[in-house]
Amino acid sequence: MDEPQEWRNMASAPRDGSRILVTVRPSEQGPAEVDVAYWARHDQFGMEGWRAAESHPGQIIEYAEPELKCWMPLPRANAAGRPSPWEGDDAEQLDGSGI
């Protein structure tokens, strides 16, 4: 049975290295966006934490916990397009802090 494709609280995101979709919070650099990320263990290239999937040695894109609003599993290959970034009320829906 397929899991519903809904945004989930970052506290429940898998930290096993699997790739997931994340909503990156809006900032001075731009509006909210969706990215593919994974949890990386501490290694010679950086600290333990969230990294963008296109990261590679020498050019690692790391996300601090507060930068990421929510997550969902990657859609199946036959699903249509990426979802829109989460734009709901953080406090009610995601139990997260916007700090």
More confident residue, 24 or 60: 24
Chain position carrying tokens 């994340």: 22
Give the integer Cα–Cα distance in Å for 95 and 89: 9
Q: Which domains are seen in the chain, by residue range?
A: 8-75 (2.30.30)
- How far are the Cα atoms of 51, 85, 90, 91 from residue 95, in angstroms, in the given order? 22, 17, 6, 5
33-92: pLDDT as tens digits: 999 999 998 776 667 899 998 877 778 889 999 999 999 999 876 556 667 787 777 655
6 pLDDT higher than 80 = yes
pLDDT band for position 2 (cuts 50, 70, 90):
low
The answer to whether 39 and 97 have CB atoms below 8 angstroms apart is no
Residue 1 has pLDDT above 50, yes or no: no
Kind and range of the H or E element at 91? Answer: helix 90-94
